[in-house]
A and B are shown apart, each in its own frame.
Chain A
């Protein structure tokens, strides 16, 4: 893989262009990493605004049409809609798992299949979340199952 870097004061924003014959698994991971690197999210907590790295996020959840970001350190509110977050993290380890929830798969400790076609995921902080039946195929596909 060749890496070309053009440095010039004429550029106002960093732009990454990938030229390839086809996108394979390794390239997908690279793109996913770049997307995550470039996607800090702002969240409000106690009247202050914080910028959170995606890898800090456990999951996003909607309560009364308000979207909250759950991390190991606390809960933050974001103005972004769930579908906007889903689009932003498309192709990364952050995946929609229910009508009101998006989960960071890297924060799952272990999973258990449930009899009714759903999956229970136990997170690294001990919290349990349910992957809805509708989103199970996408989840399994992500894990290569």
Chain B
């Protein structure tokens, strides 16, 4: 179990770090028109990715239901993103040309929307999978009716 958690953590870290760097590069490119990225931003993204990967282990919980996992995951990752963004000065980036609270709110809404879309996709996939699996189960039981 411990090794599975470790594997999931590092897999999550790798994925979120890659996505994080890509997202930052995209934001910098669009908002600041910059083609380069500061080295400090890379390790900041790495720290945030590590925290988020740690938080995402909540989805491996055997006790919590999907809804609770999603809720706890959302609250903690949102807190991590907002907190890290504030500590690392991301909301003051570019000489504070944006209103900080509006930037905070915008990033919160943006992240919440991404989270909701991902959650709905997972929910739909799970729903379809459940229907397909139960149909196979019914067929299996029908085939083996003579046994039971």
User: CA–CA, A105 to B129, complex, Å?
Assistant: 18
Residues of A within 8 A of B (CB): 29, 32-33, 36, 54-55, 92-93, 104-108, 110-116, 118-119, 130, 133, 140, 142-145
User: CA–CA, A105 to B142, complex, Å?
Assistant: 12
Chain B residues, Cβ within 8 Å of A142: 140
**Judging by beta carbons under 8 Å apart, are B136 and A116 in contact?**
no
**Judging by beta carbons under 8 Å apart, are A92 and B147 in contact?**
yes
Chain B residues, Cβ within 8 Å of A133: 4
Binds A, one of B61-69, B80-88, B92-100: B61-69
Interface of A, secondary structure class, is mixed
Q: Looking at A92, A114, A144, which has the most chain B CB atoms within 10 Å of its CB? A: A114
**Judging by beta carbons under 8 Å apart, are A130 and B130 in contact?**
no
Of the candidates A93, A112, A113, A114, which one forms a contact with B144 in the assembled complex, judged by CB atoms under 8 Å apart?
A93
User: CA–CA, A121 to B126, complex, Å?
Assistant: 15
**Judging by beta carbons under 8 Å apart, are A106 and B144 in contact?**
yes
Given contacts A113-B129, A115-B69, A116-B62, contact A144 B144 (CB under 8 A): no
Chain B residues, Cβ within 8 Å of A130: 62
Of the candidates A55, A110, A114, A140, which one forms a contact with B148 in the assembled complex, judged by CB atoms under 8 Å apart?
A55
Given contacts A113-B126, A116-B59, A130-B62, contact A55 B137 (CB under 8 A): no
**Judging by beta carbons under 8 Å apart, are A145 and B62 in contact?**
no
Q: How far is the CB of A73 from chain B (nearest CB, A)?
A: 15
Chain B residues, Cβ within 8 Å of A115: 59, 66, 69, 122, 126
Q: How far is the CB of B142 from chain A (nearest CB, A)?
A: 10
7 sampled A-B residue pairs with Cβ under 8 A = A29-B143, A111-B137, A113-B130, A113-B133, A115-B126, A140-B133, A144-B140
**Judging by beta carbons under 8 Å apart, are A116 and B61 in contact?**
yes
Q: How far is the CB of A113 from chain B (nearest CB, A)?
A: 5
**Judging by beta carbons under 8 Å apart, are B137 and A108 in contact?**
yes
User: CA–CA, A32 to B145, complex, Å?
Assistant: 12
**Judging by beta carbons under 8 Å apart, are A29 and B144 in contact?**
yes
Closest to A134 in B: B4
